[in-house]
Structure 1
Amino acid sequence: MHRRLLIASILAAPAIARAQTQPLRLIVPAPPGGSTDILARILIERAGAALGQAIVVDNRGGAGGIIGTEAAARAAADGNTIILGHNQTHASNQWMARNLPYNVIESFTPVARLATVHHATVVPANSHARNMAGLIEMGRGGRRVSYASSQAGSASHVIAETFVRRSGMDAVHVPYRGGGPATQDTVAGVVDFYVSTWPGVVSLVREGRLRALSIGATQRVPGFPDLPTTAEAGVPFMAVDAWFGLFAPRGVDAARVTRLSEAFLAALAQPETAERATQAGLNAAPMGPAAFAEFQQAEVRRWQDMATLTGIVME
């Protein structure tokens, strides 16, 4: 019997070695260039060095992140595929997407929360709206205004729709396939406003191609002393942060989850990495597996309440 076990272990050794040396696939359920992709590319070099393993980013955008997230849920539980998810893929989609092909909690193991980002309300540079009160006045002045979102059911959609309903504006929703196209059409004046993650628009605001009216932060952001917070602008209910975190398919070995968490959190803690994240408008918000699991469950409950309030359903 001992001889059979020895032979089996010898035969299994090459497979184990391959599993340890093959690249780690990091699924980003969004096109290149958005906040999720930016964060992934900031971290992969240092996290890969900590793991002793190359990390390959696999962009799989579409359907509000469902395409990439389903791929991650169906991946082998060998610890060599993880996903950089966010509040839509791993919270709000549970309530706003029809026939979701995975369960945001049961199909995954939380690995680490990495960052949060604020949402900012932006308008074209030539917009008549100089502040949030001016934007509300536009929507009440007998003209229907339009607002972009990165995807029906996304945080940008939910926050903007909540704003429209609570302010009594006459507005129409224009959904896009990602933050990039939504931002481009806002710059071009195709739509009247867009509630975007700050990293997606900060450079355009800095260049004067977009005007930011408010940001959902507790205090004014560095470098933009004239940009009021949502509380200062009279719309405190718009202070809803997006968050980003790593998930593994359910069933990945606990030791592997711990190692992945430690590697990415160590990368996030490096001063150079933290500075790059800050410059991109991201706020480091580290959490290990247990704390992140508890946080995610609370977020799922919160987004259920928001889905009920807005009645938004992603077709």
Structure 2
Amino acid sequence: MIARRRLLAASLFVPGIARAQGQAPAAPETWPNRPVRILLAYPPGGSTDVLARTLAERLAVAIPGPGFVVENRPGGAAVVGTQAAAAAAPDGHTLALGNNQTHAANAAMVRDLPYRPVEDFAPIGRLAEVHHALVVPANAPSRRLAELAARGKGGGRLTYASSGVGSASHVIAESFVRREGLEATHVPYRGGAQATTDTVAGTVDFFVSTWPQVVALVKDGRLRCLGIGAPRRLAELPEIPTFAEAGAPYMAVDAWFGLWAPARTPQPVVARLAEALPRILAEPEMVARLASLGFTPAPLPPAEFAAFQRAEVERWKGLVELTGIRLE
């Protein structure tokens, strides 16, 4: 009996030693014991959906088991799917793949947001970044950003598309309008595809889009790009100025993407996922796949990602205050 008690005491004491020495305990051997859902607050078919599905495939290889599946939960300015992830059981079998909208901008933009972007989630890691670009129809008279701005002054009025009210494309474009003192009418669409189509057709004067959405059309000469939010000019299209070079550095607001678990998810599970992400993002096949979609791998571990997210929440508060864009 005494020997059994000593054995039990030792088994309870060992994890305490590991914590005291700062060692993370091993992930539970039973995880994952069923498919892990990656909730995505966007519809199928877009670049974010492709990112999520590509990541799910690689995670299934890195973490053997029942696999990882993407579950699309679009709606309500990306609130529906994100709230579902926040409310899920924190057992490691539900994750959220989100971005600057779901986990930063909505905190300032959505009145009575039913989840807390920071407190309700355990950050696992940042995944990638995507630049925004301002495009105009190929036959537009404006060849420089300053020329476009001039058309919206002195009695002129512009129209601009966005991928939706409150989207990053809306906020960045409106910040351009406000800072430059332009007269402009916002034309919102349900997603970037139709906004791009109407910009090509000349239905609107300009569109601030994620670069992957428009890069092929720019290369084909069906759209003209007046500026991009990259830190330096793109090697494949060196004629396109950065927003800083075009005189609008404030428009260099990247879209970013990350992976979270519900708050209170066991730390060993978070640690195991966090350890796998940078290896996956460094795989040549993954790098090539992301590049084909216009993504730049930008991994950050949990602590650094958490600090980055908090800074982004504050940044988007400022953008929302400037533009006055809010969602009921």
- Give me the TM-score of the superposition, normalised by structure 1: 0.90
Distance apart, 1:112 and its partner CA: 0.5
Match of 1:21 in 2: 33
Q: Partner amino acid for 2:63?
A: L
Q: What whole-Å deviation, never above 9, does each CA across 1:136-169 have from its counterpart, x for those lacking one?
A: 1221253321111222222211111110011121
Whether 1:55 aligns to 2:68 is yes
Whether 1:65 aligns to 2:65 is no
Whether 1:46 aligns to 2:58 is yes
Whether 1:37 aligns to 2:38 is no
Q: Which moved more, 1:95-104 or 1:138-147?
A: 138-147
Counterparts of 2:178 and 2:32, CA distance in 1: 52
Distance apart, 1:19 and its partner CA: 5.7
Distance apart, 1:17 and its partner CA: 8.3
Counterparts of 2:274 and 2:30, CA distance in 1: 21
Counterparts of 2:302 and 2:103, CA distance in 1: 15
Equivalenced residue count is 302
Counterparts of 2:298 and 2:31, CA distance in 1: 30
Give 1 or 2 for the bigger CA radius of gyration.
2
Whether 1:156 aligns to 2:169 is yes
Q: Partner amino acid for 2:301?
A: G
Q: What whole-Å deviation, never above 9, does each CA across 1:86-144 have from its counterpart, x for those lacking one?
A: 11110110111111110111111111001111110011222222221221122125332
Counterparts of 2:235 and 2:55, CA distance in 1: 23
Q: What whole-Å deviation, never above 9, does each CA across 1:16-57 have from its counterpart, x for those lacking one?
A: 988623222111211233332232233222221001142211
Counterparts of 1:188 and 1:72, CA distance in 2: 38
Counterparts of 2:63 and 2:37, CA distance in 1: 13
Counterparts of 1:30 and 1:127, CA distance in 2: 32
Structure 1 residues 181, 32: closer, same or farther in 2, change over 3 A?
Answer: farther
CA RMSD of aligned residues (A): 1.9
Distance apart, 1:76 and its partner CA: 1.5
**Identity across aligned pairs (percent)?**
56
Q: 3-state DSSP class of the match of 1:63?
A: coil
Q: Partner amino acid for 2:146?
A: A
Q: Partner amino acid for 2:47?
A: S
Q: Partner amino acid for 1:144?
A: R
Match of 1:11 in 2: none
Match of 1:89 in 2: 102
- Give me the TM-score of the superposition, normalised by structure 2: 0.87
Question: Does the 8 A contact of 1:29 with 1:61 survive in 2?
Answer: yes
Q: Pairwise mapping of residues 1-315 of structure 1 onto structure 2 (< 5 A)?
A: 20-53=32-65, 54-140=67-153, 142-315=155-328
Counterparts of 1:208 and 1:26, CA distance in 2: 37
Match of 1:8 in 2: none
Structure 2, unaligned stretches of length 5 or more? 5-27
Question: Does the 8 A contact of 2:277 with 2:299 survive in 1?
Answer: no
Q: 3-state DSSP class of the match of 2:152?
A: helix
Q: Following TM superposition, where does structure 1 have runs of at least 4 consecutive aligned residues deviating by more than 3 angstroms?
A: 16-19
